């Protein structure tokens, strides 16, 4: 399988992925495939006192970051322009890191139910709704539910 990466195809095997057990540091680290700065800022604010967000702009960067330090969860943003990449990334994470929850960050004004189904079929565990769940108290509940489903 391949992931689109800034207009070019990147074989998943080229990322040199290794499965690692979660450590205390990775238990507070959240990796996100998120390109928009305002979405990064909202997620950083929502994770305050919970953990650290590591924003990545390509699927390959997400997989490499995950392989080299683990994470409590991976957040994939459902942008229309990166949907194929995002869906493929969810499947790649599920295949290589089956115990890592994959959360979908989406805006219901632009993401259709059909889009959501594609992500769920690829392995998304939970959803984070833009401007609803991306506040500190709500995101904590979503993260707890995602972790519980993977246990």
Tens of pLDDT, residues 49-102: 778 889 999 999 999 999 988 888 899 999 888 889 999 999 999 999 998 999
Angle of the 136-150 helix axis to the 37-46 helix axis, nearest 10: 80
Query: What is the reported pLDDT for 144?
Result: 60
Query: What is the reported pLDDT for 53?
Result: 86
Examine the pLDDT at 148 and tell me if it is beyond 60.
no
**Per mean pLDDT, which range of 100-104, 105-109, 137-141 is the poorest?**
137-141
Query: What is the reported pLDDT for 151?
Result: 47
Mean pLDDT of the chain: 76
pLDDT band at 8; cut points 50, 70, 90:
very low
Distance of alpha carbon 128 from its chain centroid, rounded? 10
Say which residues have a Cβ less than 8 Å from residue 144's Cβ, sequence separation at least 6: none
């Amino acid at each position: 399988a391949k992931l689109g990466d800034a207009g070019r195809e990147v074989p998943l095997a080229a990322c040199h992925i290794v499965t690692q057990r979660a450590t205390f540091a990775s238990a507070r680290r959240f990796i996100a495939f998120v390109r928009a700065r305002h979405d990064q800022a909202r997620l950083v604010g929502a994770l305050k006192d919970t953990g650290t967000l590591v924003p990545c702009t390509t699927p390959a960067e997400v997989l490499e970051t995950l392989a080299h330090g683990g994470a409590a969860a991976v957040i994939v943003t459902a942008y229309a322009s990166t949907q194929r990449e995002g869906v493929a990334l969810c499947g790649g994470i599920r295949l290589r890191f089956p115990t890592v929850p994959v959360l979908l960050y989406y805006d219901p004004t632009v993401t259709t139910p059909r889009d959501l189904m594609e992500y769920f079929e690829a392995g998304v565990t939970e959803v984070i709704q833009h401007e609803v769940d991306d506040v500190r108290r709500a995101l904590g509940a979503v993260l707890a539910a995602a972790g519980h489903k993977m246990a």
